[in-house]
Amino acid sequence: MNFNAEELMLMMLYNTGSRLELMQELRLMQCYLMPDEFALRELSEGVVEKLKLMTDAEFAELEFPRD
């Protein structure tokens, strides 16, 4: 699965160590978004959809930005 830099950064910020927990954290974060934060909602929804298509093994192989 290909993630762009913005998606990887979002994943890094909310990553708790597992794919399923990351999806949960992103969904939880969406509950706190204001209506005008459409871009962040769209970004996080896209990431969740991509994570659904991955296996846990594929997720474990992802490399996140270091800075």
Question: What single letter denotes the amino acid at residue 12?
Answer: M
Query: How far is Cα 26 from Cα 41, in angstroms, rounded to an integer?
Result: 9
Give the pLDDT confidence of 7-17 residue by residue, as tens digits.
Answer: 999 999 999 88
| pTM (predicted TM-score) | 0.91
Domain boundaries, the chain: 5-60
CA angle 15, 11, 7 (to 5 degrees): 175
Give the pLDDT confidence of 25-49 residue by residue, as tens digits.
Answer: 999 999 999 999 999 999 999 999 9
Inter-helix orientation angle 5-14/19-31, to 10° = 90
